[in-house]
Amino acid sequence: MDFDFSPDQIAFRDQVEAFLDANDDPIVFDVTRENMAQVADIPERRALMGKVAEQGWLGITWPKEWGGQEGDGVYEYLLNEALARRGGPQIGKGIGIIGKTILRHGSEKMLPKEGTANPAAITSSASGTDAGGPAAGRAAPPAVKPNSRPKQIISTTMPE
């Protein structure tokens, strides 16, 4: 079995690295922060995740009718690994787990109408994807009091 990355996967990895080089910022990328600071907890990190969304890299594995690319999960892996290696925010629970669960198992009421969903609009204040916040023109998540556990917040364009 061949475990090497394909030429397309290597090209994507190189594209991600070039993007991260062009957007290098010591405030955003800091490997010394606790837990490699996976969350987009400050405006600069949210702005970076907004730029990642503009590249079409949030929701890579989502269906096209809901704003994704129907891509292989290895591309999300390559993106997250590149972000983690630099100590940057990563695709988190909102897009990586919660959004996929809603798309696969959600009721008709929870599912977006075709063409209305945007993977960048599903966010969690503690998951690492806050692209649905100020960087995407949405309200920032509520402030979390010190020593309190943040609750999941899902901001979507889903119909009521």
> Per-domain residue ranges for the chain?
7-136
Q: Which residue has the tokens 């959004």?
A: 99
Using one digit for the tens of pLDDT, what is the confidence trace for 58-73?
Answer: 888 888 887 888 889 9
Fold of 7-136: Butyryl-Coa Dehydrogenase, subunit A; domain 1 (1.10.540)
**Other C-beta atoms lying within 10 Å of the C-beta of residue 129:** 31
Averaged pLDDT score across all residues of the chain = 73
pTM, two decimal places:
0.67
Q: Where are the alpha helices (DSSP H) in 3-152?
A: 7-22, 43-54, 73-85, 93, 100-105
Phi, psi of 57 (to 5 degrees): -95, 0
Using one digit for the tens of pLDDT, what is the confidence trace for 37-96?
Answer: 567 888 999 999 999 989 989 888 888 887 888 889 999 999 999 998 999 998 877 777
Using one digit for the tens of pLDDT, what is the confidence trace for 106-158?
Answer: 777 776 666 555 555 554 444 344 444 333 333 333 333 333 333 333 344 44
